[in-house]
Amino acid sequence: MSTHASAVIAAGAVVPASCTIGPFCTIGPEVVLGENCVLISHVVLDGRTRIGSGNTFHPFCSIGVPPQDLKYGGEPTETVIGDNNTIRENVTISRGTVGGGGVTRLGSNCLLMTCAHIGHDSQVGSHCILANAATLAGHVVIEDYVTLGAFCPVHQHCVVGKYAFIGGGTIVTQDVLPFSLTSSRRENKAFGINKVGLARRGFSPERLKRLQKAFRLLLAAKLNTSQALEKIKEIEGDDAALLAAFLERSERGVIK
């Protein structure tokens, strides 16, 4: 193991020999690191934290720290992180709370830019990007392939659907439709599908056409949400079915 002399690794921590631990890093006694992780410098890993392989932690990020919840009383809750994530400077990820399920989770192949925050009991999928100062309150769900723009706060218990792109500075207080391009001018609106992002992810023209039809029914037709939902269910393909299922299970309502 390559470990700088100023790093502090508590007894009980699991740190494989393939990891690189830079100067002034602190690793708590219940932390389990996977292979080939890199802690550049001044990184804090705390609490019951399980981390996969190939993750890179940049200076001054704090992972698995106690939740910012006044009800938290030191219970043995967890933080779970997947593989191949890049976690940039000053990112904070709080561990879970008993009332919220006890686990804060980050998937794999994500980029968390400077000052992003994942609050307690939030569940973030894989292949996500949280831009600078994007902040998740407690109990937020971010599904796979989401891009959350800079300075976007997400309210407690909101769900952001797969492949959504949220523009910078958008205050998210309701669920965000999967596949959507959602942004804020004077008020939050969904502006249709995230066409460029979906094409980059390999969506065929036929898939995009079916999704555009579904979004026209939901956003542009003179239909209420229930009426649009019934029409969307008639569209062929898994994407329309995923959109319909998202609408049906939304508890906070969706941004339209």
Q: Would you call 121 a catalytic residue per the annotation?
A: yes
Per the residue annotation, which of 46, 121, 175, 239 is the catalytic one? Answer: 121
Determine the Cα–Cα distance for residues 40 and 190; give it in Å rounded to an integer. Answer: 39
Q: What are phi and psi of 70, to 5 degrees?
A: -65, -15
CA distances from 109 to 21, 76, 240 (A): 21, 27, 26
CA distances from 115 to 89, 90, 99, 133, 139 (A): 6, 5, 26, 5, 19
Beta bridge partners of 31: 49
Instruction: Answer for the pair 95, 79: CB distance below 8 angstroms, yes or no.
Output: yes
Per the residue annotation, which of 28, 47, 138, 149 is the catalytic one? Answer: 138
Per the residue annotation, which of 42, 58, 117, 120 is the catalytic one? Answer: 120
Q: Would you call 138 a catalytic residue per the annotation?
A: yes
Determine the Cα–Cα distance for residues 84 and 99; give it in Å rounded to an integer. Answer: 29
Determine the Cα–Cα distance for residues 205 and 46; give it in Å rounded to an integer. Answer: 46
Enumerate the active-site residues: 120-121, 138
